[in-house]
Amino acid sequence: MANLAYTLKDQRKDDKAVELMTSSLKLNIQVLGPSHYRIQSVHETLMACLSVGATEDQVGQDSNHIPEAWVD
């Protein structure tokens, strides 16, 4: 997880937004469990947010939402 956080900070200069997104990713992984597929889906969503320059407000809105497709 530390490597992922470092990579995200390299890709985006807004460290606070990256920190929020990384925290959201960690939370989603804890809630969803260790399934590789689910973790990959969360990571891809996070990277998509970074690529379009998600704001802190958008990150906050998404951090408590788990798409139904990820829930058994």
Residue 70 falls inside a structural domain: no
What pLDDT score was predicted for residue 58? 52
Contacts of 63 (CB under 8 A, 6+ apart): 20, 23, 24, 27
**How many folded domains does the chain comprise?**
1
Domain range for 60? 2-65
Residue 72 lies in a domain: no
User: Is pLDDT above 70 for 3?
Assistant: no
In a domain, 53, yes or no: yes
Q: How confident is the model at residue 46 (pLDDT cuts 50, 70, 90)?
A: confident
With bands split at pLDDT 50, 70 and 90, how would you rate the model's confidence at 5? low
pLDDT at 72 over 50: no
pLDDT of residue 62: 47
Q: According to the per-residue pLDDT averaged within each range, which of 30-34, 42-46, 54-58 is highest?
A: 42-46
The answer to whether residue 42 sits within a structural domain is: yes
Is 71 a domain residue? no
Question: For residue 12, is it within any domain?
Answer: yes
